[in-house]
Structure 1
Amino acid sequence: MTATLPARLLQLLSLLQSRREWSGAELADRLEVTGRTVRRDIDRLRALGYPVDSTTGTAGGYRLASGKNLPPLLLDDDEAVAVAAGLLTAASGSVTGIEESSIRALAKLEQVLPARLRARVGAVSDATVPVVVRGGPQVDAATLATIAAACRDRELLSFDYAKRSGAATSRRVEPHNLVAAAGLWYLVAFDPEQDDWRTFRVDRVTRPLATGRRFEPRALPAESAAEYLRRSIADAPYRYTAQVTVQAPAETVLDHLHPLLPQRVTPVGDRGCTVQLGEDTLPAITRQIIELADLDAELAIDATAELRGHLDARLRRVLDALSQ
């Protein structure tokens, strides 16, 4: 049974907002109407001011184009609560200038939420205490949006990238997913020029551009983008490395450490394990070693003289402070 006309137009608009492009046949199947009815409804949306473009090709299709004004977004209950929860926690400081924009957007959303959802959002708000992180690398909101859209629409993405060494490169990749981890944003993508998968720190990306060229997504060489990122971080070459032997089960150590920090845990015997650590700065790798010390288990640290000296100096400062 088909929906009434106003409801069908809203459903059509919701479908156009959920994906970049639809064929006429797909829309007709979803709405349970004929292709002629879809074309007529598309014309009515255009008459109401919605910029719906027709696409050429064998099947033909439609996409909701960008216009002068942002059209109303149609969200179901779970989507509305998810958006509100995201806005509530957006003041983490990892995206440049997002705090004020998030507050304005949340105010608008709460104004139009039905009563049944306002209570749910209010519960999330009352239970949420945002921790604002300062001083870490930040990403530009427009850069993040461009990359996210390219991932969604399966469009080749070009950008300038600063390597860890500071060297500048130009990249053209097949974007797969964005992953937020430990206060940073990462892009997981396939690099056709390297014929391999790569991860990119988004705060090092500049001038991102979706080329308009579509690609067929490849299968990730991991269970998920987060898992691939974890492996990439663990396998990356770091300036400072250390091996720590811990007299505690590998499962206990893994539960204690952040899953996306650069580390590799290998069981040794029945009750011990070794942890390979890597970081680009002495303070960062020192923090990881101190994290392991919090396990209250016997440790043996194999590290360079430079790292040993840094650890010794830091611990002496702590002991001197205690003795005062």
Structure 2
Amino acid sequence: MQSVLDLLQQRADDDPAFFYRLKFGEHNNIVSYFWRDSMMLEDFKAYGDVMIFDTTYRTNKYGLICAPFVGINCHWKTTMFACAFITNEKEESFEWLLETFKRAMCQQEPKTIFTDQDKAMGNAIEKVFPNTRHRLCLWHIEKNFVSHFGSLKTNEDFKNMFKNCLMGCQNESGFEELWAKMMELYGHEKKEWFEQVYDQRHKWCTALNRDMFSAGILSSQRSEVTNKAISFNAKATTNLFEFYHIFEQTVKRWRSNETSDNFRNRTERPKAVKSKSKLLKHAADVYTLALYNDFETEYEWAMASFLRAFATKTHS
């Protein structure tokens, strides 16, 4: 740990914009530490509207909880805003961590933050980021909820209906109708549990969050990418000094990829430049290559749907 602290201090000496903070326990021992470099600050200013905060990663010799703050850049690639190690997941630890993050980002708050269902974390977010929309990770919900399904685990009709409640409804009335139908058919088996889930619907139901920008994220899968990327070389025996270098190499690789994407964006043009569609041509001018490809796919689906509806109406 002292070696890591020496590294952080050296980074601060070399870069005046480098930011790190330590939290000490009752016996003057370090219980948490947080850091971000100057590039992470710039990335957060550019892409910090949506953030994923995940504390499920623990691969290190001391069992400390790694807490990366992750976002998405304009090429739809993962970017790192900050990172921390904490010794527990108590509400006071999360409050300190989020307050420190806020201070490190010049008091700027994300518009949307995705997390798992940790209650202490949710309470801390409500206190520190009162203006931020807190969303629950659907990946974690699907993974954790299945343990509560009981005999419904093998019922494909129920699982499909539940998944549609999560992300398949177009509006609030559609969700309420589907949920009521599901409760009528299956609610008697897990009534109390279903009531608890329903009370948190504004945090997980996509139909109830269409008014808030979320960059199309439905889960903390980006944090899963982070974990896999870091754990590629990290093991349960990895010490903090080794882990820090693995983390730094991961961030360095992500930034190298972003540099390559920026170069491609300057030197390549999508096929829309030859298209007759003014909308696609405009999209090619304002979007990066990766985002343009996503937009073009949705555009083609929308046009196909429109033509199909027009043909049906004509024939009728």
**TM-score after normalising by structure 1:** 0.31
Structure with bigger strand share is: 1
Structure with bigger helix share is: 2
Question: Which structure has the greater CA radius of gyration?
Answer: 1
The one of the two structures with greater contact order (alpha-carbon pairs below 8 A, sep at least 6) is 2
